[in-house]
Structure 1
Amino acid sequence: MDLPTQIEIRLAKLGVRASDVRERFVLGTGPGGQKINKTASTVTLYHRPTGTGVRRQKERSRDANRRLAWEALCEKLEKRLQIVRAKERSEKEKERRRNRPKSARRKKIMVADKRRRGELKSSRSRVQNP
């Protein structure tokens, strides 16, 4: 598999090996007539570890479609990685906010609310005859 260097660099940054990707050339479909329907210029790529797949048939030439498919796969994997990193970052931030100590003002308000609630509960008790 001879890939353009830009794509190889992008795959290396993502930690994806080209051998993990299944590349197939299939017959085209849709408008374009006999030439599209008879030639195997459509490229499908499937990255086994992530289950991500792309299919490209934009151009008439196999090489152009192959380049477009690899670029699309890189974009898809980059987007997926970006989403995973954003999730991890938000989880960390959520945990940090949860474990942050309460401010003095917040504690004061909380204690006042508890006192008020306690007074309300004690006022509901039965009245004792002296």
Structure 2
Amino acid sequence: MAGELIVSRSLVIPAAELSERFSRSSGPGGQGVNTADSRVELSFDVAASKALPEHLRARALERLAGRLVDGVLTIAASEFRAQLANREAARERLAALLRQAIAPPPPARRATKPSRGARERRLDSKKRRSATKQTRRRPDLS
């Protein structure tokens, strides 16, 4: 469980680059909440990571800029009663966030023009609509 984090087939974050902190959770657990440190904070230093290739690190830093504090990404999980389940949830969320951040940008959109037929159909429907509204008007009494 405390091993490496598999982000994708080609990217694995070693356990040495992850740090976990545990604290008391405010979530479910009854009286056990007051005694068990079930909340997990999982931190990953994106800026100093050796596991991320340079181009992926730059992309991740740019896309996660709003979530980083001094280049460190922190995920907190406290939705489960068990520390083990919260650790797993935090790892899954971190992996999903990194996967999304390092994904290649979508291909650029190629601009297209409407076809001649589409333009004609659009204008015909506008004319029909205009004629319909014309017939609904009150006759001019002048």
TM bracket (short chain): 0.5 to 0.7
Corresponding residue to 1:27 among 24, 27, 31: 24
Q: Which residue of 1 aligns with 2:37?
A: 40
Q: Distance in 1 between matches of 2:17 and 2:9?
A: 12
For 1:38, give the aligned amino acid. Answer: T
Normalized per residue, which structure has more strand?
2
Q: Distance in 1 between matches of 2:40 and 2:5?
A: 18
- Report the 3-state secondary structure (helix = DSSP H, G, I; strand = E; otherwise coil) of the residue aligned with 1:40: coil
Q: Which residue of 1 aligns with 2:89?
A: 68
Which protein shows a greater Rg? 1
- Report the 3-state secondary structure (helix = DSSP H, G, I; strand = E; otherwise coil) of the residue aligned with 2:10: helix
Q: Which residue of 2 aligns with 1:49?
A: 46
Q: Gaps (5+ residues) in structure 1?
A: 98-130
The 4+ residue runs of structure 1 with deviation greater than 6 A are none
**If the length of structure 2 is used for normalisation, what is the TM-score?**
0.49
Are residues 1:10 and 2:7 paired?
yes
Normalized per residue, which structure has more helix?
1
**Residues 27/73 of structure 1: CA separation in 2 closer, same or farther (3 Å cut):** same
For 2:44, give the aligned amino acid. Answer: H
The RMSD of aligned alpha carbons is: 2.7
The structure, 1 or 2, with the larger RCO (C-alpha pairs under 8 Å, 6+ apart) is 2
| 1:11 and 1:17 in contact (8 A); partners too | no
| 1:14 and 1:77 in contact (8 A); partners too | no
1:53-108 deviation line (CA, Å, top 9, x unaligned):
100011101111111111011011111112xx21xx66xx69xx9xxxxxxxxxxx
Cα drift, residue 38 of structure 1: 2.5
Q: Distance in 2 between matches of 1:15 and 1:62?
A: 23
**If the length of structure 1 is used for normalisation, what is the TM-score?**
0.53
Q: What percentage of aligned pairs have identical amino acids?
A: 29
